[in-house]
Structure 1
Amino acid sequence: MARSRRTGCSVAAVLAVAVLLLAYSCAGHGSGGGNSGSGGADATAAAGGTAHTTSAGPYDVAPLLHPAGRMLGVVDDKSPWQYDIVKTFTTQAGRAPDIREYYATWGDDFDAEGNTFLWGKGQLPMMALVPSDTALADIGDGYDDAYVRKLAQQIAGYHGPLVLSFAGEMNGPWNSWGPGHAEPADFVAAWRHVHDVFRELKVRNVIWTWSPHVVDSGTTAKLKPYYPGDAYVDWVGLIGYYGPIDGAAFASLFTPTIGQVAGFAHKPLLITETGVAESSAKEAQVRDLFAGADKAGVIGLVWYDQRKDWPGSTQMMDWRIDTSVGSRAAFRAESARHGFGHPFGSG
């Protein structure tokens, strides 16, 4: 979904996050994306979620790659420090989110303190890194390696987990890195190059998440040419919204793309952005979303809880959970019914 992108370097404030220790365990081990090891996180119950500490040594995300439960997240284009979206979501959804997704622009410094703050509050940070006006071909050819190395070292020094979605919606023609602006081969080369630099520097705290937009009337490009390969991806993410143009039901919005992706990718599936626009069908569509996601076996979904214009138009859509009492009730009931909401550390 097209949105305004945050520009400029992140400004990190200094914050001490006080937490108690509790041994963390999470079922399953993954081998994708070059991540390996058996490190984990310490966690303890805290107001608004499950709090975590970060160790002094390198963090290894391997135990998180196959979560035992389904996660529920929220996305905002603001920095990790701007925590109001988490508070609002917690009030509306009746529980704190497990994932807090935010946007960063290529060239930004990594906000280590902000991400530590999120992880300490119980939210798994997810950074959607957008190349903006930087050509994918240049990234793939190594012209920005000084930045890539700096970013990798900053992320490794954060000592916590990070879900990284690079150049998401790469199949969306509205993006400067999408069809008409870059070739699928450029995207794959850029992704692999960035990943290889991180691997060379032994950065193991990143969950590499490939996030195309669902294939619909506005995004008709085949997805397989954009896939970097199972060795370069930990999670497959999908972005799709219930709205006035596409997305009347999970079966038409997500299922065709899930079927297409299943033919070439063999990774856990996360819905990295979704929402249901306000309409007379919203309550039914909220129920359909959670039931469909459950049936599809996704490991979680991340909700866009804001008002925003529909891509390519000036029509304002209200994606918020509580546009009506019925919508909020449906969200709470169906997310609980289908097991969404996974506090890390509870197994």
Structure 2
Amino acid sequence: MARNHRLGRPAAAVLTLVVLLLSAACGGGGSDGDGGSAKAAGSPKSTGPYDVSALRGELGSLGAGAGTSGSAGRLLGVVDDKSPWQYDIVKTFTSQAGRAPDIREYYATWGDDFDAEGNAFLWQHGQLPMLSLVPSDTALADIAGGYDDAYVHSLARQIASYHGPLVLSFAGEMNGPWNSWGPGHAKAADFTTAWKHVHDVFREQKVGNVIWVWSPHVVDSGTTAKLAPYYPGDAYVDWVGLIGYYGPIDGTAFSSLFAPTMRQIATFTHKPVLITETGVAESPRKEAQVRDLFQGAAAAEVIGLVWYDQRKDWPGSSQLMDWRIDTSVGSRAAFRAESTRHHFGHPFTSG
């Protein structure tokens, strides 16, 4: 659903931050009046560089072992267009899902500054931040060629200054022709070279708090490009992310929506899989499809999924789709029951 996002540079006024922090202290990160449970802060109160290697290893092994032998469950997250400081989506998700999210994904446009304080706010309240960085109108070939290196170096320094982990997805849905960085607008080689270049700059800057997620859209009638040419290689990727929706066109069941793409990806990598965007559109089949999503994801041993809890026009049309969890009592009940049954939920604890 990250199709042609246009976001402004984050502007965190001091007064706004104070108001938000006071709001969080009064209940933003705690128990919700509709039954959501509070989660312990996930970040040790450290001022030194954060090394994500241990956390990366722990989370990367969730798929096969979720809920067994006392282990924590798979990741369960939520995504929207708001900045990290806009916490309402977390509170709404907590009320609807019956538990707080483990991941809070948000979007930023290439050229935006990184909001270290906003991401720290999320991590301290139990959400692993996930940044989906959208190149927008910046050509991948220019990024690959180093024309924006001043920004890449600045971004790397800003992210390193945030003393917590960050999941970073660069140029997601790179196989989607609706994107200015997708087929028909850029070559697969432009994408892989740009990805490697950004990754190499971060490595040179010794940025050790990033989990790199490669996030194609599932292969369907609108995204037919082969994925292997878009893969930067295992040395440049920590997790495979997948974006796919149960909607009016291709999304009817996990077996047809996600499984074919996972089989294609398995021919060139065995990295852990996180569904980085998904949702089920309102329809008479929504309750059954919510159940199918969690059952299929668990059987496929993904390490988690991130829900798009919004009402939004289907890309390329004026058809309004409602992806929210609680469009009906049945949908909400199915979400809560199946996410619990299949061990989606990985609370982060301090220390």
- Spell out the pairing of 1:14-163 with structure 2 (5 A cutoff): 47=31, 48-51=38-41, 52-66=43-57, 67=59, 68=62, 69-163=73-167
- Spell out the pairing of 1:156-305 with structure 2 (5 A cutoff): 156-305=160-309
What's the offset of the Cα at 1:312?
1.6
- Runs of 4+ in structure 1 off by over 4 angstroms are 13-18
Match of 1:12 in 2: 12
What's the offset of the Cα at 1:4?
5.3
Amino acid at match of 2:316: G
Larger displacement relative to structure 2 (187-196 or 3-12): 3-12
Q: C-alpha separation between the residues in 2 aligned to 1:155 and 1:57?
A: 13
TM-score relative to the length of structure 1: 0.89
Match of 1:40 in 2: none
What's the offset of the Cα at 1:311?
1.6
Q: C-alpha separation between the residues in 1 aligned to 2:258 and 2:40?
A: 30
What's the offset of the Cα at 1:2?
4.6
8 Å contact kept, 1:148–1:197:
yes
Instruction: Choose between structure 1 and 2: higher helix proportion.
Output: 2
8 Å contact kept, 2:39–2:349:
no
8 Å contact kept, 2:97–2:335:
yes
- % of aligned pairs identical? 79
SS at match of 1:267: coil
SS at match of 1:49: coil
SS at match of 2:271: coil
Gap runs ≥5 in structure 1: 19-44
Amino acid at match of 1:97: P
8 Å contact kept, 2:104–2:129:
yes
SS at match of 2:40: strand
The alignment's C-alpha RMSD in Å is 1.7
What's the offset of the Cα at 1:11?
1.5
What per-residue deviation string (whole Å, max 9, x for no partner) do you get for residues 260-290 of structure 1? 0011112110000000000000000000000
State yes or no: 1:314 paired with 2:314: no
SS at match of 1:149: helix
Q: C-alpha separation between the residues in 1 aligned to 2:2 and 2:77?
A: 19
8 Å contact kept, 2:3–2:179:
no
What per-residue deviation string (whole Å, max 9, x for no partner) do you get for residues 54-93 of structure 1? 4211101111223243000000111001110000000000
Match of 1:335 in 2: 339
What's the offset of the Cα at 1:50?
2.5
What's the offset of the Cα at 1:9?
1.6
Structure 1's 54 and 131: CA in aligned 2 closer, same or farther, altered over 3 A?
farther
What's the offset of the Cα at 1:6?
3.9
Q: C-alpha separation between the residues in 1 aligned to 2:89 and 2:158?
A: 25
What's the offset of the Cα at 1:344?
1.8
Structure 1's 2 and 209: CA in aligned 2 closer, same or farther, altered over 3 A?
closer
Q: C-alpha separation between the residues in 1 aligned to 2:324 and 2:350?
A: 28
Q: C-alpha separation between the residues in 1 aligned to 2:178 and 2:55?
A: 33
What's the offset of the Cα at 1:7?
2.5
SS at match of 1:53: coil
Q: C-alpha separation between the residues in 2 aligned to 1:211 and 1:122?
A: 23
Match of 2:35 in 1: none
Q: C-alpha separation between the residues in 2 aligned to 1:157 and 1:173?
A: 35
Larger displacement relative to structure 2 (274-283 or 306-315): 306-315
Q: How many residues align?
A: 321
Gap runs ≥5 in structure 2: 23-28, 32-37, 63-72
Q: C-alpha separation between the residues in 2 aligned to 1:95 and 1:11?
A: 30
8 Å contact kept, 2:126–2:349:
no
Q: C-alpha separation between the residues in 2 aligned to 1:179 and 1:301?
A: 26
TM-score relative to the length of structure 2: 0.88
